[in-house]
Every structure is written in C-alpha cells, then in structure tokens.
Chains A and B, each alone.
Chain A
Amino acid sequence: MLRDLEDLDWGKVLEKLSTYAGRRLYGFGLCDSGSQVTKGEELAAEAIKHLFDTETKEREVSTEGELTEALGSIVNGLVSNLTRKSSTRREILCGDFYEDQLGDDERSPEQRIIDHNLSEKVMDVVLSRIEGDELLENIFFSTIDGEKPREQAEKLGIDVQDIYNARRRLKDHFRAVRKLVQSEMEEHTK
C-alpha cells in the first residue's frame, strides 16, 4: 500500500524521478538540455499522480524499491506515448520494454535500416573514444553482459560510487556520440 510509504521523503523521490525522466526525454530527442529538468519534472510529477490514481497498482507497491520500479515504468510508458507522437527519434526503439509498449515495431523498413546503421556507428565511435580507458571498457562490456553496478564494483574491487561515476562518464560519451553521428547522418541525407 502507498500508505506504508507516507514517511518516505517524496522530495527526494521527485528529484530522482525527474532526473531519470529528463534523461529519457533528452535521449529520445523530446527536449533539449535547457528544458531537460523542467520537462523531466513535469513527467515525473505526472507519473507520481498516475500511481496514486491507480488503485490496482497501489496495492502492489509497499517498499521504496518497488515504488521506484513502478514509477520508472510509468515514466517509460509516458515517454513512449510522447515518442509515438513525435516525428524525431534520437534513440532506437528496441529491447523488451519498448517491444511490450509498442507491440509491433512501428518503424518503416527504411527507418529500421537507418536506426540500425546509426546504432552500429554509435557503438563503434563510443568504443573508439573509450579505447585505453580500462575502467570504461570493462564497464561497457560487463554492462552488455548484464552485470549490475554493485557486481561490477565487487569484481573490480572498487567502491560502487566510483562505478556510478564511471557509468555517468560512459553515458556522456554515448550522448555526445549519438548527437554527432545523428547530425552527420542528417546532413548526409539532405
């Protein structure tokens, strides 16, 4: 029950969720970096309201972890709805979650090829950028293998906070490269 979570610091919940929603919106090209937090906060607040409105879901949420999971899923659903309405997509729609959300792939065959090429190029450029940075390379490949940050920290014998810092750097690489590659491709198709 949500009532069990009344003592939770909901201020921190909104901070966390706004950051996540902002990252997703920006990743999908649905906002620029200047409006990322504002738009993220709007979406996060909508997700929280949605959770309170849905009586059936309410019963399933009684711990902070479950709450964050539920809110994260609602944010993903809301972002997915916005993506459908938007003609611009910086991120490629794939992976189980988006398959579940969208059902059949709505992209045209041409768009799929463009997305595939874009994705391959992004991966190549990110890998070349992090070449020589042992920590980032390690995190990159172990993340693909499904390792969680805590597991990575244990394996590498370093603090989990250092892992999160490194993952943040890796994320920034992805973001920068995707932006660059996409603008190159757009230029090319003109």
Chain B
Amino acid sequence: MKKKSNEEENGTNVEELLDRDVLAEDYPHEMIEDELRGLGAKPEEIRERGRFLARSLFRKQWKARAQIRMEQMGDLGKNSPEFSELSREQLLFRLDEVKNSSVGQPVTTFFRKRKKEEASEEELRELLREIHLLREMENNKV
C-alpha cells in the first residue's frame, strides 16, 4: 500500500468524514430533509419510494423463500386456487379472517404501512395464494 503525505490523506479524509455524517444514527433527520429540499427534491416523495422499494424487496425475498420450500415439498402447492372468482370485498374479507391466525404474518406485513384501498386485486389474490400455501405447509408440517 502506498503511503500518502499527511496533507493529501487528511484533505480527502476530512471531506469524506464530513460526507459520512448523514449516516450517523444521531444525525438530525430534519437536516437531511433540509438538504434535500435545498437541492430541489421532495423528501416525502423519496420516503414514499423508499417504503415501496423495501416492501417489494421484502415480498420478493419472502416469495423466494416460499418457492424454495415449495420445491422441497414437491407437488404440494402445485394446485393452489387462483381465487379469480372472488370480488375485492370478498378477498379483503378472507384476508381479514386469517390475519390473526398462525399463517397471518404476510397479511400483517403487507398492510403494515399501506392502506387497503392501495392494494390491487391481483396483489390481494397473490396474498391469498401465499396464505393457502402456508396453510398447506403447516398441515403437512414442512
């Protein structure tokens, strides 16, 4: 590793350290928002996109894990119902029913920071299919 002069090393390090301040846990969040606004951005929109991104990534991760378990189970889950005959109200009713059961975790996660009216019917059906799969796993003790 090459040795740099103190001035050169310090010069860059000071700037880098100052940049890193925003990552500190005690850095005031309002200062971040001020900085973003000062640069012409809308912090609330960034926050919204961040929450959406995390939701979709957690969901993707959960689905990947479920997929692995499904493959381990063989044919189980292969004939999951599509729930295409259910209306939006019926889908929400079913999800409400299972919310507090042993397989209700995905429902709680899905609606943690999201209103019911924000979910599309396809997302609700997908959620019910996941619940169905979880129930099958539970019944088969996988």
Contact = CB atoms under 8 A, between A and B. Distances in A.
A36 interface: yes
A37 B39 contact: yes
Interface string B54-88: 11011011000000000000000000000000000
Given A12-B29, A68-B23, A119-B8, A171 B50 contact: no
Contact of B18 (A69, A93, A94, A167): A167
Contact of A120 (B8, B14, B16, B109): B8
The binding surface of chain B is classed by DSSP as helix
A132 interface: no
B31 A165 contact: yes
A149 B46 contact: no
A144 B13 CA distance: 8
A15 B32 contact: yes
Nearest to A120: B7
A22 B39 contact: yes
Given A14-B47, A72-B23, A161-B28, A49 B57 contact: yes
A115 interface: yes
Interface size range on B against A:
35 or more
Which of A19, A48, A68, A97 counts the most B-chain CB atoms under 10 A from its CB?
Answer: A19
A93 B8 CA distance: 10
Given A91-B12, A92-B8, A15 B23 contact: no
Interface string A44-64: 010011001000000000001
Given A45-B53, A116-B8, A119-B11, A12 B47 contact: yes
A68 B25 contact: yes
16 contacts: A6-B58, A11-B46, A12-B47, A15-B43, A20-B23, A37-B41, A41-B46, A72-B20, A92-B8, A92-B12, A93-B12, A104-B2, A116-B5, A119-B8, A150-B26, A168-B31
Interface of A: 2-3, 6-20, 22-24, 27, 33-34, 36-38, 41, 45, 48-49, 52, 64-65, 68-69, 71-72, 91-95, 97, 99, 104-105, 115-116, 119-120, 122-123, 140, 143-144, 149-150, 160-161, 164-165, 167-168, 170-171, 174, 178
